[in-house]
Amino acid sequence: MSDNNNLSSAESHPRGQQQYSQPSWPEHVPIPETFLCPLSKKFMNHPVIDREGNSYEREAIFKYLRAREQLGTALVSPVTKNPLQESDLVDNRALQSIIDSALKNA
């Protein structure tokens, strides 16, 4: 799979439905904290970033926003509590590149 396929924008898949196939972090290597999603506390296979610079695992943040929408509660950042829409999220290409390099060297 090419890097362009892995780095499709959030706008291309606004509901976060696309599945991404990337290797998991090796179990024998400690995961750097910057590679962990603040929502799921799990390794980010496909990081997205909001307008404030907060990164999330794509699936986790879309699930969080959909749940809030279904409950009729305000769509806000789980980190800052400022308004957050799905359209505010884009692929975090810089972090993805760092993660990809780390995976190759792990």
- The pLDDT score that the predictor gives to residue 61 is 98
Q: Determine the Cα–Cα distance for residues 48 and 93; give it in Å rounded to an integer.
A: 8
What tokens does 29 get?
Answer: 């290597």
Q: Residue 21 half-sphere exposure, CB side, CA atoms within 13 Å?
A: 2
Instruction: Report yes or no on whether pTM surpasses 0.85.
Output: no
pLDDT along the chain (106 residues), means of 10: 38 44 74 94 95 97 97 97 97 96 87
Residue labelled with tokens 């760092």: 98
- The pLDDT score that the predictor gives to residue 23 is 61
Which helix (H) or strand (E) is 49 found in, with range?
strand 47-49
What tokens does 37 get?
Answer: 């999603």
- The pLDDT score that the predictor gives to residue 43 is 93
